[in-house]
Amino acid sequence: MDRDIHPAVADAAEDIASMEVRGAAAIADAAAAALGEQAAASEAETPTAFRAEMRAAARRLHETRPTAVSLPNALRYVLRDMSGDTVAGLRASVESSVTEFRYELDRAQENLGQIGANRLRDGDTVMTHCHSTDALSCVRHALDDGKELSAIVKETRPRKQGHITARQLREWGVPVTLVVDNAARRYLDDADHVLVGADSIAADGSVVNKIGTSGLAVNARERGVPIMVAAQTLKLHPATMTGHTVEIEMRDEEEVLSPAEHEEVGDVTVENPAFDVTPPRYVDAIVTERGQFPPESIVTLMRELFGDQQGGEPWEES
């Protein structure tokens, strides 16, 4: 236990790892806020000590979940521009980056929601998978524009984030049909769009999202239902531009099978990948706050956004 890590950082890391805080955007927001708390409460006496403390806090947050790139992108945003010759100056710079980051996160979600809403027509039915605030922003903007929508919501085993989506949509007055994941293909005949979020998007346009997305996309393509991915640019994975792959998180087997059930089933290996990769050819559009892109052209946007980012991570020891 690092005594310089503020409890707010330790708590945020715990909440992210346990999925108390979940969803790529919410994870980024919580991580940035925790860095802000670390900076505000720091008792470091020298700029060097302050920087070391911030790096340690960022490392703690970084090691929680490996797949959603919004987390390292948030940490980079806050730490890359840390500047100042005094502790007070450094603290002020972190705090202002955190405020700016959180504001931009909200704004990006609003802007992409408006763009995504333009793809939805009055009377359309969307099929959702998991719970994505970026995807739901598109629905909310369409409703604000006066369109009527219905939803077919996939339950999303093993953690059933579909329930969160269903609850939110009902609060907005959207008629919801909840189905188990295995029923998706049958209900695609009633859907006008598949609408999902993303945890990471690779430079070739592959979409890393909740396990089950790729099978849904293949089925949707076969049925002729367009697949729309709502993902603010915070979900673009810079390291994939230089050949790195996105690590897929493997979660605890108890999310799939309780110890009692496991006992009953017998000696089997249980695997619980949290995400899968949907190849770009199954995706019709990636909707970001900078406009909608065919997946194959997302690399152009990535070059524009990350082209000049070089060198090590700002939380690594220099």
Q: How many chain residues bind ligand RI2 (CB under 6 A)?
A: 17
Pick the closer one to ligand RI2 by CB: 38 or 278: 278
Q: Say how far apart CA 228 and CA 287 lie, in whole Å.
A: 7
Do residues 168 and 104 make contact, with C-beta atoms less than 8 angstroms apart? no
Pick the binder of ligand RI2 from 5, 8, 13, 22 (CB under 6 A).
22
Pick the closer one to ligand RI2 by CB: 98 or 287: 287
Pick the binder of ligand RI2 from 23, 36, 113, 116 (CB under 6 A).
23
Interface segment toward ligand RI2; rule CB under 6 A; list 35-43, 127-135, 143-151, 238-246: 127-135
Is 210 among the residues that bind ligand RI2 (CB under 6 A)?
yes
Pick the closer one to ligand RI2 by CB: 219 or 288: 288
Is 12 among the residues that bind ligand RI2 (CB under 6 A)?
no
Residue 199 designated active-site: yes
Which residues in 28-87 contact ligand RI2 (CB under 6 A)?
A: none
Which residues in 93-112 contact ligand RI2 (CB under 6 A)?
A: none
Helical H runs in the chain?
Answer: 7-17, 24-41, 47-62, 70-80, 87-117, 133-144, 162-171, 184-187, 213-223, 259-265, 298-306
Pick the binder of ligand RI2 from 209, 214, 240, 278 (CB under 6 A).
209
Q: Say how far apart CA 115 and CA 131 lie, in whole Å.
A: 19
Amino acid at 307: G
CB of 89 to ligand RI2, least distance (A): 33
Which residues in 145-204 contact ligand RI2 (CB under 6 A)?
A: 161, 196-197, 199
Q: Say how far apart CA 68 and CA 28 lie, in whole Å.
A: 9
Is 113 among the residues that bind ligand RI2 (CB under 6 A)?
no
Pick the closer one to ligand RI2 by CB: 92 or 172: 172
Do residues 67 and 60 make contact, with C-beta atoms less than 8 angstroms apart? no
Pick the binder of ligand RI2 from 94, 130, 207, 302 (CB under 6 A).
130
Q: Say how far apart CA 22 and CA 64 lie, in whole Å.
A: 11
Pick the binder of ligand RI2 from 274, 285, 298, 299 (CB under 6 A).
274
In terms of phi and psi (left: phi > 0; alpha: psi -120 to 50; beta: otherwise), the region of 63 is: alpha
**Candidates 29, 124, 134, 199; catalytic one:** 199
Sheet strand arrangement including 207-210: 200-201, 207-210, 275-278
CB of 135 to ligand RI2, least distance (A): 6
Q: Say how far apart CA 109 and CA 95 lie, in whole Å.
A: 22
* Helix, coil or strand: residue 313: coil
Q: Residue 210: name the closest of 221, 218, 200 by CA.
A: 200
Q: Say how far apart CA 149 and CA 133 lie, in whole Å.
A: 17
Pick the binder of ligand RI2 from 8, 9, 13, 24 (CB under 6 A).
24
CB of 221 to ligand RI2, least distance (A): 19
Pick the binder of ligand RI2 from 132, 165, 233, 288 (CB under 6 A).
132
Do residues 139 and 112 make contact, with C-beta atoms less than 8 angstroms apart? no
Catalytic residue set = 130, 199
Residue numbers at the binding site for ligand RI2 (CB under 6 A)? 22-26, 130, 132-135, 161, 196-197, 199, 209-210, 274
